Structure 1
Amino acid sequence: MDSIRVLLADDQALVRAGFATMLSIEEDIEVVGQVTNGQEAVDFALQHDVDVILMDVQMPLMDGIQATELIARAGRGKVIILTTFEREDYLFDAIRGGASGFLLKNADPDDLIAAVQAVAGGYALLAPEVTVRVIERFARSLDAEETAAPGIRPSAELRKRLESLTQREKEILTSLATGLSNAELAATFFLAEATVKSHVSSLLAKVQVRDRVQAVVFAYESGLIRPGE
């Protein structure tokens, strides 16, 4: 089995060194590069094969949000945003930009390793604390839109994508947006985990999003879930 190739992007040398030490212990993970800003992260990802980028947000020359957008657009690796919530408004921007996960910088080593492995395996990952912040912020943004423009409705394109889902897929998407794992979804709907995985893959394709993080955004933007529900 090939190693998961990881790039570390952070302007603090001690942070990079700490993450590199934690990750390098794992037989299936290889730290292939360390960079100090977003521009270097983009350049490295474009020039080398990288599976996962651990991306700080606040860096010189180019911040992690811009770098994430460029890397995701080029399809040159999956980004896990590292955050301390100093600027929680960055989180939603990063989701829109294509980030596949969010992790707290003070996460346990096991959580860091699990996050890298999960994202490399095609899953999206949000730390529980981050899930709450992202959903709360998105709910606030929708409330603001409703106040500014009463009666605002999802675009015709979003409604069309939503209507392409079966009732069961809508139910699974609603539950998925609360942070349930495939195993928890299987228990909730009394389905085999393989069946849930098939439903999730199908609904992601139908609503044209690439992972579970983007699916959460779609669930709110399409009106399937409303703030406060």
Structure 2
Amino acid sequence: MEKINVIIVDDNSFIREGMKIILNSYNEFIVMGIFHNGKEAVEFCESNQVDVALLDVRMPVMNGVEATKLMTERTSAKPLILTTFDDDEYILEAIQNGAKGYLLKNNDPEQIRDAIRMVHKGQNVMQNAVLDKIKLNLLKKKAPYKIDRELFTEREISIMELVAKGLSNREISKQIFISEGTVANYISTILSKANLKHRTNIAIYYLTGKEE
């Protein structure tokens, strides 16, 4: 079985050590190191083959959001934000900086394990509480366009925005006066154009313009 190289980055020693014990209990993980700030983690990733970096948000010297940006730009490590803070400002910034997932620390070990596996495979991981924060943010203000507008029609872009706000196909159909079947067809076209596999990825893609 392929081993997944993981690092743990958190300024709380209890969290660091606890997470290390949890991950070491699974045979598929190798915990390569534990760090108390983002700067140390980025430097380690620059000189070591790290697959997934578990990052807290609020840390001294360099926080998890800043570390995510540098890891994405300079290394092959996939950042996975793991935090007690579900502030939508951090969520959006972390995603835009290249985070592959955003989970709250109150998840059980099995969920964290599954999230690491999925991120390692190149999938995005967003738990419902985090997606709800993104939707709320989109409802409060119009999201900046990060997507390639030339790739989509205006109708497709409007549907992407409504999907990102959390509307169902039925709700979208009522809002823009087309059938649910037509909405489903538009979503299929959007997924194909954006090279996305799942409807839930549309919100992230709409915000960041990134396929992963």
Aligned partners of 2:25 and 2:142: how far apart in 1? 43
Q: Size of the alignment, in residue pairs?
A: 189
Aligned AA (1:160): E
Aligned AA (1:61): V
Aligned AA (1:36): H
Aligned AA (1:64): G
2:152 match: 162
Are 1:9 and 1:16, in contact at CA under 8 Å, matched by a contact in 2?
A: yes
Aligned partners of 1:173 and 1:3: how far apart in 2? 38
1:124 match: 124
* CA apart distance, 1:39: 0.3
Are 1:124 and 1:212, in contact at CA under 8 Å, matched by a contact in 2?
A: no
Give the TM-score taking structure 2 as reference length: 0.74
CA RMSD of aligned residues (A): 3.6
2:184 match: none
Mean alpha-carbon deviation: is it higher for 22-31 or for 36-45? 22-31
Per the alignment, do residues 141 and 14 of structure 1 end up closer, same or farther by CA in structure 2, a change over 3 Å counting? same
* CA apart distance, 1:21: 1.3
* CA apart distance, 1:172: 9.5
2:83 match: 83
Aligned AA (1:105): K
1:62 match: 62
Aligned to 2:22, the other structure's residue is in SS state: helix
Aligned to 1:142, the other structure's residue is in SS state: coil
Aligned to 2:102, the other structure's residue is in SS state: strand
Aligned AA (2:41): A
Unaligned runs of 5+ in 1: 146-153, 181-188, 190-195, 223-229
Mean alpha-carbon deviation: is it higher for 19-28 or for 5-14? 19-28
Matched, 1:73 2:73: yes
Aligned partners of 1:73 and 1:119: how far apart in 2? 17
Aligned partners of 1:50 and 1:128: how far apart in 2? 27
Give the TM-score taking structure 1 as reference length: 0.69
Aligned partners of 2:167 and 2:33: how far apart in 1? 31
Aligned to 2:59, the other structure's residue is in SS state: coil
Per the alignment, do residues 68 and 38 of structure 1 end up closer, same or farther by CA in structure 2, a change over 3 Å counting? same
Per the alignment, do residues 217 and 121 of structure 1 end up closer, same or farther by CA in structure 2, a change over 3 Å counting? closer
Aligned partners of 1:212 and 1:68: how far apart in 2? 25
The CA deviation string for residues 189-209 of structure 1, in whole angstroms up to 9 with x for no partner, is 9xxxxxx9xx95x54449xxx
Unaligned runs of 5+ in 2: 169-180, 182-187
* CA apart distance, 1:90: 0.9
Aligned partners of 2:118 and 2:205: how far apart in 1? 21
1:219 to 191, 206, 210: 206
Aligned partners of 2:208 and 2:118: how far apart in 1? 26
Are 1:123 and 1:212, in contact at CA under 8 Å, matched by a contact in 2?
A: no
Aligned AA (2:69): E
